């Protein structure tokens, strides 16, 4: 099945689109940064890793959400700011016939931190979940020490639902996980913001 979504998504300042080969250097510049990856479930990425992940993103996008209902379906879009990729957002539809629970994630370059760009991209990702993808719940999982990400969840209007203690083995130590989520009925659509 081909992707039925109306991509790219456009926000006030960003174009959220599928990745292209020419994006590798931009992606590497922040996904290869140990500080950026500090609270992410993967180590800093090298070129080969970025290239193979990009191929996986495109393959999943091309397969579409209905290809394999027994597996999660991930969609990763890069955030293009005036021709440069400055971050990426991920939507993961959970397995199951209803496909109405999503997880979202975000990784942005520190070169654009503090301008609200990640929030802008994340809002568009949640809009996508509650709009075309028809979700009823959108959640984010994070290391509770990741306070910048927790503030982003707050800006999205998510509720801090849970704090799971020592449920993730992270490079030699158990770490906690925070779960933040918003329900369809709580989501403030762009026109009501
Ligand atoms: C998490 C992450 C995306 C947050 O980045 P960020 O720069 O804080 O987020 P935004 O781009 O939305 O910017 C928000 C900040 O800009 C400020 N800001 C300025 N203009 C703004 C605007 N127009 N709209 C919203 N916020 C604005 C906000 O006040 C906020 O600052 P504060 O948190 O100090 O109050 C970033 O730290 C990151 O990529 N980290 C590494 C990867 C990671 O950990 N990902 C999450 C895994 S769960």
Q: Which protein residue's CA is at the shortest distance from atom 25 of ligand 1?
A: 116
Among the listed residues 155, 14, 157, the one whose alpha carbon sits nearest the alpha carbon of residue 87: 14
34 lines ligand 1 (CB under 6 A): no
DSSP-derived secondary structure letter, 44: P
Cα 156 from Cα 149, distance rounded (Å) = 11
Q: Which protein residue's CA is at the shortest distance from atom 17 of ligand 1?
A: 114
Q: What is the pTM of this model?
A: 0.96
- Residues 90, 76 contacting (CB under 8 angstroms): yes
Cα 142 from Cα 163, distance rounded (Å) = 10
pLDDT in tens, the chain (193 residues): 445 688 999 999 999 999 999 999 999 999 999 999 999 999 999 999 999 999 999 999 999 998 899 999 999 999 999 999 999 999 999 998 788 999 999 999 999 999 999 999 999 999 999 999 999 999 999 999 999 999 999 999 999 999 999 999 988 999 999 999 999 999 986 554 5
Give the mutation target among 119, 143, 164 for probing the ligand 1 site: most ligand atoms within 8 A of CB: 119
DSSP-derived secondary structure letter, 115: S
**Distances 6 to 36, 91, 132, 133 between C-alpha atoms, Å:** 30, 15, 9, 11
Cα 56 from Cα 160, distance rounded (Å) = 31
State residue 43 phi and psi, 5-degree precision: -75, 170
Cα 144 from Cα 148, distance rounded (Å) = 10
- The per-residue pLDDT for 190 is 57
Q: Are strands 159-170 and 173-183 parallel, antiparallel or unpaired?
A: antiparallel
- The per-residue pLDDT for 96 is 84
- The per-residue pLDDT for 188 is 83
- Cα 81 to middle of ligand 1, angstroms: 15
Cα 102 from Cα 90, distance rounded (Å) = 10
- Cα 158 to middle of ligand 1, angstroms: 15
Cα 146 from Cα 142, distance rounded (Å) = 7
163 lines ligand 1 (CB under 6 A): no
149 lines ligand 1 (CB under 6 A): yes
Q: Which protein residue's CA is at the shortest distance from atom 27 of ligand 1?
A: 116
30 lines ligand 1 (CB under 6 A): no
Domains contained in the chain, CATH given: 9-192 (3.40.630.30)
Cα 152 from Cα 158, distance rounded (Å) = 9
């Amino acid at each position: 099945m081909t992707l039925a979504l109306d991509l790219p998504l456009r926000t006030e300042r960003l174009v959220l689109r599928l990745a292209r080969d020419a994006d590798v250097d931009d992606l590497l510049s922040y996904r290869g940064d140990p500080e950026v990856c500090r609270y992410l479930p993967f180590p800093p990425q090298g070129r080969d890793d970025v290239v193979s992940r990009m191929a996986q993103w495109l393959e999943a996008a091309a397969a579409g959400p209905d290809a394999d209902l027994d597996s999660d379906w991930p969609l990763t879009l890069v955030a293009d700011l005036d021709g440069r990729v400055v971050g990426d957002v991920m939507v993961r539809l959970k397995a199951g016939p209803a496909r109405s629970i999503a997880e979202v994630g975000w990784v942005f370059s520190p070169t654009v931190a503090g301008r609200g760009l990640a929030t802008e991209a994340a809002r568009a990702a949640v809009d996508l979940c509650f709009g075309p993808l028809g979700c009823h719940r959108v959640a984010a999982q994070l290391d509770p020490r990741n306070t910048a990400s927790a503030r982003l969840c707050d800006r999205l209007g998510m509720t801090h639902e849970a704090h799971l203690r020592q449920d993730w083995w992270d490079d030699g130590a158990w770490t906690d996980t925070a779960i933040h989520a918003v329900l369809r009925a709580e989501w403030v659509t762009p026109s009501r913001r």
